[in-house]
Structure 1
Amino acid sequence: MLPPIDDNHARRLLQRCTERDERALVELHRLLARRIHAFVWQRLRDDELAQAAVIDTLHEVWKSAARFRGESRVSTWVLGIARFKAMELRRQSEPPGEGFDDIEDHAETLAADTEDGAETLARWQQAEQVRLCLKQLGAAQRECMQLVYYEGLGLADVARVQQVPEGTVKTRLFHARRLMRACVEGLAGRARPTRTEPDKREGSDD
């Protein structure tokens, strides 16, 4: 998991961008590029497109730094821009195929952090099962999970990024947790060895 961003430091860098300090943009790239890439990958599932989204996002940040109102964390504002850029790139490209999804690298963390399913999911400790179940979620639900458990955003910030009411975010998380728990329990149940009768010959003198 990527380390948390010092929001005060990010705000100072953003302010310097408004003053056209290119060194601040370089520092913002160092601070945010990996996080943006990880976030847009789940929508694009293409490294070239994801890299393009990083560039487009930071270019927009450079142009629009003065528009940041300070109502959210800088990372929240930037991910909102990244989401839009990823959607734009996706519309311009062919539909993505199946591929690696960055959020799946954090399957065990997601399982352990899920509030109403924590005990059930943690019981199995099977990251592969969680990865399979993550694929069953809708794109918006997966994005919610990543923003909450990977980015550590609160509901209000997730709502800003996804451009939906906070109640919608709560609903998406509720259904995502429920689906994840049911899916992992189902997979784990099928994976359990069947109980067999003890061998009656055990302990005999034959």
Structure 2
Amino acid sequence: MKYIISDYYQNCLVQTPYNFEDERTFFCEVIIPILKTFAIHNTNMTFKWCEKQSKENRSTWLQNSDYKPKNVERRLLDGYGLSENKGIAVLIESSGSESKVAHSLTLTTTSLNYNKKWQIIDVRTATVPTTKEGKYNLVKVFELLAHLKEIWDDQQKIVSQLEAEAVGFGGAFEKTVEEHFQHQ
């Protein structure tokens, strides 16, 4: 938190205010430092930034049964977070229009529902402050990051369990390896 607050404070000290009508400037000056700091201090995730075209990006499109690829405008991601095993963990999209740039972060989850249809849920939204007057909005930013950390930790437990099952261990470990061999 202290590094995010420090960056926020630096933004407040800028003598000539940023023109945040430009989506890219806001994203690069405000959002990237927040997410970069979060990843460095809270997860084993790394980010790739700014209109990334990669094999990882191509792998994020939904299955062909959900859409017709020819009719979908493919866009590059503004960033994505890679987990320790190099799988995509977080997708970053900075959305705005020429008339309005939202100064907010929204945490969205995507999953398959019981009908095997994609469901997208906005879990948390926080206005990201850029002036001293908006300082209390940092609370909502930290709540969003805390929720992202909970999701991340839950996913890491699932990945660990799947890796254990892949090598023949099922469920929770009742005995340590040493205990197993002592009783043989």
Instruction: Provide TM-score, normalisation by structure 2.
Output: 0.30
Q: Which has the higher helix share?
A: 1
Instruction: Provide TM-score, normalisation by structure 1.
Output: 0.28
Rg larger in 1 or in 2? 1
